[in-house]
Amino acid sequence: MMEIAKVRQDFPILFQTVNDEPLIYLDNAATTQKPKQVISAIENYYAHDNANVHRGVHTLSERATKQYEEARETVRAFINAASTKEVLFTRGTTTSLNWVAQGFGDQVVEEGDEIYVTALEHHSNLVPWQQLAKRKQARLVYLPLTEEGSVDVAASQ
């Protein structure tokens, strides 16, 4: 089991009180806090290696490219992807979901298909599917929630 107190030690930003209470931060989908290992890797990168990735032949550029690709491999192993070619870095969720809807969605969705979303979606996971449905003349179906707050998959039958 994850030891929360131990994990908290990795996040310097949590070493403060807000409104006289220890800070608890849950807005990770909007902006995720960084553990000290990440802060130190970023500082080290900007202090020693920062350069254009895949677009230079000098030493710093080669170092930056190597680290960038090593990060891609770390992510690949973490999500168990078959190839690093499946790992794309974007600036955030909205961009990623637009790419999925336009890349994957445009290939597989046809006129008359149904696209299911839930009543819980953030705008970033709603607008791309609305636009896809419009482009393809598909139907966007909103799954409701049960009394317990779960997605009511049975409502789609």
Ligand X SMILES: Cc1ncc(COP(=O)(O)O)c(C=O)c1O
The Cα 25–Cα 18 span in angstroms is 10
Q: Is 88 in the site for ligand X (CB under 6 A)?
A: no
Which position among 7, 29, 38, 155 is part of the footprint of ligand X (CB under 6 A)? 29
Which position among 40, 44, 52, 93 is part of the footprint of ligand X (CB under 6 A)? 93
Which position among 36, 48, 66, 122 is part of the footprint of ligand X (CB under 6 A)? 122
Which position among 33, 124, 130, 131 is part of the footprint of ligand X (CB under 6 A)? 124
Comparison of 9 and 90: residue with beta carbon closer to ligand X:
90
The Cα 67–Cα 49 span in angstroms is 9
Q: How many CB atoms lie within 10 A of CB 64?
A: 21
CA 54 to chain centre: 23
Is 14 in contact with 25 (CB distance < 8 Å)?
A: yes
Q: Can you read off the two tokens belonging to residue 154?
A: 């049975």
Comparison of 67 and 95: residue with beta carbon closer to ligand X:
95
Chain positions contacting ligand X, by CB under 6 A: 29-30, 92-94, 122, 124
